[in-house]
Amino acid sequence: MSNIDDSTAGRTQQTVAAGVILALSIWVAYVSFDVDDPQPYLFPRLFSVVMVVLAAVALVRALRGANRTGTVMGGRQFARIVPVLALMLLYVFVLIPLLGFYTAAAVSFLAVYTVYDPQSHLSAAVWLKRLTITVGFIAVIYVVFALGLKVQTPRALFI
């Protein structure tokens, strides 16, 4: 592929990605504003508005060709991120409603960490390290969101 083709393909790829992210951001904003009691949703509302603005800027930049990335993401590169994309969908649409926010976040974080961690999957010490880091990460998330920002997170079978 010539540089012109790579540039055009990269621009198209960025435009499509930015458009998808903008659509998702608008959906998140809509959901965060469509509630009866607005107080617990202050942080999600602020975050969703920032997401919409940044996604719109990214889309405009992509349409104008302002982003210079060089090459298109190849099939091998895309295949490396497919597990995380699938897990994100599973996390949002299945795990959170079933397990609750923090338990689903712990399961998802541990899964991503395990998939991309090059260390042995047979070592008990490595699994202990993964579990310790996961628990620490979820503890930080809990302190920030539940205690610091007073955000109500989805609850289900577990917290």
Cα gap 107→93, rounded to integer Å? 14
Q: What is the pLDDT of residues 64-73, one digit of tens each?
A: 887 766 566 6
Taking a C-beta distance cutoff of 8 angstroms, is the pair 104, 72 a contact?
A: no
Pair 65, 19 in one domain: yes
Cα gap 100→93, rounded to integer Å? 11
pLDDT value at residue 2: 46
Instruction: Provide the residue range defining the domain that includes 91.
Output: 73-159
pLDDT value at residue 147: 86
Pair 64, 17 in one domain: yes
Taking each continuous run of H as one helix and of E as one strand, the counts in the chain are 6, 0
Cα gap 81→103, rounded to integer Å? 23
Token representation of residue 2: 């010539």
pTM assigned to the model: 0.61
Pair 53, 100 in one domain: no
Pair 78, 50 in one domain: no
Average pLDDT over residues 51-60: 92
Exposure string of 62-91, with b = 16+ CB inside 10 Å and e = fewer, is: beeeeeeeeebeeeeeeeeeeeeeebeeeb
Q: What is the pLDDT of residues 99-128, one digit of tens each?
A: 999 999 999 999 999 988 999 989 999 999
